[in-house]
């Protein structure tokens, strides 16, 4: 469906950051805006980022 454009380290950082933001929002530390962590969590889990596609970025290693 979508082209994979999020590589290993980028993927781990997105998932960890997303979970951290959501966790802080649930704990009431940073307020409800922390639920924006769903976005990096989703892009890391799905390994595709629409903004990367628009800008032409790709952090996946080349397969060859």
Length of the chain measured in residues:
64
The contacts of residue 5 (CB under 8 Å, 6+ apart) are 47, 48, 49, 52, 53, 57, 58, 59, 60
Pick from 38, 49, 37: which is nearest to 10 by CA?
49
Whether residue 64 is predicted with pLDDT greater than 90 in this model: the reply is no
Distance CA 11, CA 64 (A): 21
pLDDT tens digits, 40-61: 999 999 999 999 999 999 998 8
pLDDT of residue 23: 98
What is the model's pTM?
0.88
pLDDT tens digits, 15-45: 999 999 999 999 999 999 999 999 999 999 9
* Helix 38-46 vs helix 8-27: crossing angle, to nearest 10: 150
């Amino acid at each position: 469906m979508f082209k994979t454009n999020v590589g290993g380290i980028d993927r781990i950082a997105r998932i960890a950051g997303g979970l951290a933001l959501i966790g802080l929002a649930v704990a009431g530390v940073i307020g409800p805006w922390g639920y924006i962590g769903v976005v990096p969590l989703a892009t890391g889990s799905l390994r595709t980022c629409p903004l990367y596609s628009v800008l032409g970025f790709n952090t996946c290693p080349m397969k060859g």
